Structure 1
């Protein structure tokens, strides 16, 4: 990485002016807001230098930009879409865009400072009329992203973390440098890739799974909930579904490793589809130092991918449980009688 030092204020001012003239379109970006009346809204908060959020979908494989944040050479974009939930008071800088509801997009974040470059990407399908907030921060040795769903319930702003999964954009394969074209399939390539993926999957630790709840423990949770409700009495139909929801939650939590491994295998296979035959042949037992370096780099990336994915799966499981419980309480009008009802 190279750096250029400007020795005079005149040089710095001239460069700043030139950048603004040549990059005027980058202030607000090239991405046009969705026009649907039920478009979703997304706020991107950047607490880092030189942060960008790029948008990709099947029709825009080269990507569309949404503007620059916290760049010393140009003003921040002023993109706003009248979101109902205000940004956090400590947000350094942010932009807001409208997204087409129900349409899968691939969102990519980049940021760089004096001694680091950091980026990440994830697939995202916004829901009609929903509001979201994506926050970028840096921590020692890494950058962090947090995606949250925004709601306002009874005058109170709520932020609910959402899982973030990167699964690629197959419709764009071969149509831009970010999405390279897979090499042609052959029986030999398929067999090699399958053996590599399965061997790697066997080495992925499954961690400590959540034990399935005993009948006694689940019954105790229901007893505890009834005590919280106090004088509010609910029919047996409610409690039967409540118990079923608890069982579904624990089943899903217990399958966290299997669910994460599905993502892992799919992404690993996708990454290998662009790898040359000669490299695949020695992938499991590399003899060439260049191949060895590629394997090591890929293993490191996939280990991080699995770690991030397990966190996403755990969050996905919790959110599904909260949604089921919220729907149950709504069905039986619990919130009208109990302020501590389930809400999602």
Structure 2
């Protein structure tokens, strides 16, 4: 989930945003033209905020294309629909749908304006072929947030899987005012690397999450595996060869092992993201941020609070992403196994993707 803070606007901003939106073609469908490929990806934008818009940027459109406006007092909601298989949320206030060229790097920027408040954020995105997505935008207190999810229809049920997205902005559009240039990375040196290590290790979040007591361990005992397999045998109601059950057990063990390393993966991703930011910081600031409490000798850093908060947000994004990646890999292994042994032709409740 991406989070941004609300900005307080000048009273005249609403009229300027409203007028600009009309001139740019926000009403009713905007200037963006849907992709025409047969395997185009589909994306639904759902907004619970007033005057919500999502604009499209790619290497050929650095000034952006509009897709319409939602929840505006004077304009009808965008009527854009592309026939998605997964229905919108029941309580969706307003939504629009577009088609995107698959396997193409794009940047989507979302904005809302309500009264004297303005909030906006954006993210990089590379849609997969024939895949459906949903972007939910909301405003709570002084923060707006965006949740990006993959949509699937599995066994007659709607499945939403949160995705990890990057908010860095497209390099091809660095000249656009809403997308700043990527930070210039300074050369790595042994001293800089040591300072960055100290800063990361001293982060309050890393200190809390690297507590050995919080590290999960593989939990499935041989007895627990036997129980799970017995339950599955009873549910099948027909016999399967021993090698099927050996593979079933192997898949359960693999899932348990992957789950036990989840925290390590999350911390590694967060550490890598933190280091990417620190590599653009000059030596003087690194030394200042890496200072250690001389009285207690405890780990700690002096990084600005806003940066620490952004890393906490990234940590939770990474945690969700790794969780769903672990589950998806397990489902894929099980589905491949049931397909190999032709289970689905005899049982509706088989493992499927």
TM range (shorter): 0.7 to 0.9
Matched, 1:205 2:195: no
Residue 281 of structure 2: aligned partner: 275
Hey, what's the Cα distance between the residues in 1 that align with 2:168 and 2:18? 37
* Pairs within 5 Å for 1:50-129: 50-57=51-58, 64-114=65-115, 118-119=119-120, 121-129=122-130
SS of aligned partner of 1:180: coil
CA contact (8 A) 1:58 1:169 kept: no
Please report how far the alpha carbon of residue 295 of structure 1 lies from its aligned counterpart in structure 2 after TM superposition: 1.6
- With over 3 angstroms needed to count, the CA separation of the structure-2 counterparts of 1:96 and 1:141, relative to structure 1, is same
Matched, 1:182 2:184: yes
Matched, 1:237 2:243: yes
Residue 250 of structure 1: aligned partner: 256
Residue 321 of structure 1: aligned partner: 330
- With over 3 angstroms needed to count, the CA separation of the structure-2 counterparts of 1:140 and 1:223, relative to structure 1, is farther
Q: Which stretch of the first structure deviates more once superposed, 205-214 or 259-268?
A: 205-214
SS of aligned partner of 1:305: helix
SS of aligned partner of 2:83: coil
* Pairs within 5 Å for 1:218-237: 218-229=225-236, 231-237=237-243
Figure out how many residues of one structure are paired with residues of the other and give that number: 332
**Among 271, 280, 300, the residue aligned to 2:309:** 300
Please report how far the alpha carbon of residue 282 of structure 1 lies from its aligned counterpart in structure 2 after TM superposition: 0.5
Gap regions ≥5 residues in structure 2: 1-7, 294-300
SS of aligned partner of 1:129: coil
User: If the length of structure 2 is used for normalisation, what is the TM-score?
Assistant: 0.78
- 1:190-216, Cα deviation, whole Å (9 max, x unpaired): 554344334437525144525332222
Q: Which stretch of the first structure deviates more once superposed, 214-223 or 165-174?
A: 165-174
- 1:27-79, Cα deviation, whole Å (9 max, x unpaired): 53454433322111111111222323344556666655433222334333232
Hey, what's the Cα distance between the residues in 1 that align with 2:89 and 2:319? 27
Hey, what's the Cα distance between the residues in 2 that align with 1:25 and 1:117? 17
CA contact (8 A) 2:102 2:129 kept: yes
Hey, what's the Cα distance between the residues in 2 that align with 1:59 and 1:217? 56
CA contact (8 A) 1:57 1:169 kept: no
Residue 298 of structure 2: aligned partner: none
SS of aligned partner of 1:336: coil
**Among 310, 331, 344, the residue aligned to 2:319:** 310
Residue 161 of structure 2: aligned partner: 161
Gap regions ≥5 residues in structure 1: 7-11
Residue 196 of structure 1: aligned partner: 199
SS of aligned partner of 1:324: helix
Hey, what's the Cα distance between the residues in 1 that align with 2:280 and 2:64? 21
Structure possessing the higher relative contact order (Cα contacts under 8 Å, 6 or more residues apart): 2
Residue 222 of structure 2: aligned partner: 215
- 1:265-290, Cα deviation, whole Å (9 max, x unpaired): 22212222333433222012399xxx
